[in-house]
Amino acid sequence: MPDSAPASARTPRVRFAPSPTGFLHVGSARTFIFNWLYARHNHGTMVLRLDDTDVERNTDASVQSIFEGLRWLGLDWDEEYKQSERLALHRRQAEAIFAKGLAYRDFTPAHADSGEQSSAQGAWLFNPGMRELSREESDRRAAAGEPFALRYRVPRGQGRTLSFTDGVYGEQSKLADEVEDFALLRSDGMPTYHLASCADDADLRITHIIRGQDHLTNTFKHLLIFEGLGVQPPQFAHLPLLVAPDGAKLSKRRHGPVVSVTTYRDAGFLPRAFINFLCLLGWSPKDDREFMALDEIRSAFTLENVNRSNAVVNFTEEDPFDPKAVWLNAEHIRALAVAELSPSLAPFFEQAGFHPLPEKLLAVTPLIRERIKLLGEAPAAADFFFLPQLAPYDPVELIPSKGGDAAMALRVLQHAQEVLATTPFDHDSLDQALRAAASHLGLKAGQAFQPIRVAVCGRKNAPPLFETMAVLGRELCLARIRQAEECLQSLG
């Protein structure tokens, strides 16, 4: 399909264009994901473009954090560009617009450095003296080295309406007379966001611009730039804002780490769960499904199903994570194969000071999978598998809750030691032997198992007993039961 065909008819080429001015924001991650879904659903191309022309605000640390966040999500892209390496193209494009008479030089020092200003009288639109400057005068001053900003000559007094159909927000229009003569180049020669973005979108043959709703009104300016460049504008689709529970736009400055992708990673969200959660912020498959695998989301994804209303991320002072995000994470943890889940848990154990062997962690994983909602909860749920010595616990816990006493607990522990000395340490043998032990003592299984569970795990609330004991092994179980016995005796 030739480039002159309408964008909607061409194979999609979409781009994610972050400005590296801070960590990867959850809103940016969602924009990335929606672009990715659109590209992959439609067999198109995903472009990553760093909008890094603002040298004063850009940092290497931010570039690293963006890449780190994107790599963690595990979604790929096909082409990668840096705007800072494309400045010659931006200037060439600005000059082309200028050559057509669609831009002019503004030598006003006060206005020379920024795109938009307002005055006490209302919105600033243009400096008449500059807009009307003759070409000769303009050339003369430029040749004399006077700094200038290059501004778009927005059509005025013609009753022109700028309009486009947004893929999410529908028909949009604005009178050109209400758009200010925005800058294309700053007085230091650097392109503005508007120019660099459109020049690159045109050059990279972007067909669909999918970005945050905060850029909706910029689109009118962008339409003018595309017109100035003599190219068909891409299709636009703006994504609803992400807001805090109080309705305020989610921002790094106001809300801090809860808006950073790495906060979710570090707490132990699975990338697939985080992606699932972000997709539901502003999009839904319209059939009540919430827990979805990436493949399902990709095949269901359309821009028509993106909502217009702001999407609320529910967090509080005490709990930084939306309950839905946590629920989805627990569901994805449960659905994950043990062989895949286990290595994802490893860094959390390392960080907690445990250094489990991969085989041991693989054995422990299925025992805690149902008991954690965040990967970061795993070390606390499984510490007793790795601690050589259990943390002190209250010996009263060893006493069966239902009608038990210390003597009963002691009898259980003593008998368990005899039985366990010879029982093979696998699930079925332990199950059989310990049930037999309970009935030998005339106790219910629940009564007999409590002292054993607390002895080997140090707590009542623990994973299934026989599997746990099989992983811990005979030696450790017997040692802990002996210790528990001593604790009980010390109760007197």
Residue from the set 17, 37, 398, 410 that interacts with ligand GLU by CB under 6 A: 17
Of 52 and 227, the one with the shorter C-beta distance to ligand GLU is 52
If one asks whether residue 241 binds ligand GLU (CB under 6 A), the answer comes out as no
Tell me, by CB under 6 A, how many residues bind ligand GLU: 7
Q: Is 291 helix (H, G, I), strand (E, B) or coil?
A: coil
How many alpha carbons lie under 13 Å from residue 376 in its C-beta half-sphere?
A: 8
Interstrand relation of 45-50 and 79-82 (parallel, antiparallel or unpaired)? parallel
CB of 213 to ligand GLU, least distance (A): 11
Class of residue 305 by CB neighbours under 10 A (exposed 0-12, middle 13-18, buried 19+): middle
Q: Work out whether 211 is an interface residue with ligand GLU (CB under 6 A).
A: yes
Residue 197, interface with ligand GLU (CB under 6 A)? Answer: yes
Residue 451 touching ligand GLU (CB under 6 A): no
Residue 200 vs 485, nearer CB to ligand GLU = 200
Instruction: Point out which span in 15-23, 127-135, 173-181, 246-254 binds ligand GLU (CB under 6 A).
Output: 15-23
Strand order in the sheet with 149-152: 103-106, 149-152, 183-185
What is the nearest approach in angstroms of ligand GLU to the Cβ of residue 17?
4
User: Is 360 an annotated catalytic residue?
Assistant: no
- The catalytic position among 82, 174, 249, 252 is 252
What does the block give as tokens for 323? 């309950």
Answer yes or no whether residue 25 interacts with ligand GLU by CB under 6 A.
Answer: no
Tokens matching residue 58:
């850009």
Near ligand GLU in 42-71, by CB under 6 A: 51
CA 138, CA 181: separation in Å to the nearest integer?
17
Q: Does 18 bind ligand GLU (CB under 6 A)?
A: yes
Choice from 215, 435, 474, 482 touching ligand GLU (CB under 6 A): 215
Round to whole Å and give the CA distance between 76 and 78.
Answer: 7
As measured in angstroms, the least distance from the Cβ of 211 to ligand GLU is 4
Give how far the C-alpha of residue 439 lies from the chain's centroid of Cα atoms, to the nearest Å: 53
| HSE, side-chain direction, 13 A CA sphere, residue 415 | 20
Which residue number, 18 or 458, has a Cβ lying nearer to ligand GLU? 18
Work out how close the CB of 272 gets to ligand GLU at its nearest, in angstroms, rounded to a whole number: 25
Side-chain half-sphere exposure of 472, counting CA atoms within 13 A? 32
Q: 18 vs 463, which CB is nearer to ligand GLU?
A: 18
Q: Are 53 and 287 in contact (CB under 8 A)?
A: no
Q: How far apart are CA 67 and CA 28, in angstroms?
A: 12
Residues 6+ apart with CB under 8 A from 52: 19, 20, 58, 63, 82, 83, 84
> Which range touches ligand GLU (CB under 6 A), out of 11-19, 237-245, 359-367, 457-465?
11-19
Q: Which stretch binds ligand GLU (CB under 6 A): 14-22, 392-400, 450-458, 477-485?
A: 14-22
Question: Applying CB under 6 A, which residues contact ligand GLU?
Answer: 17-19, 51, 197, 211, 215
Catalytically active residues, by annotation:
252
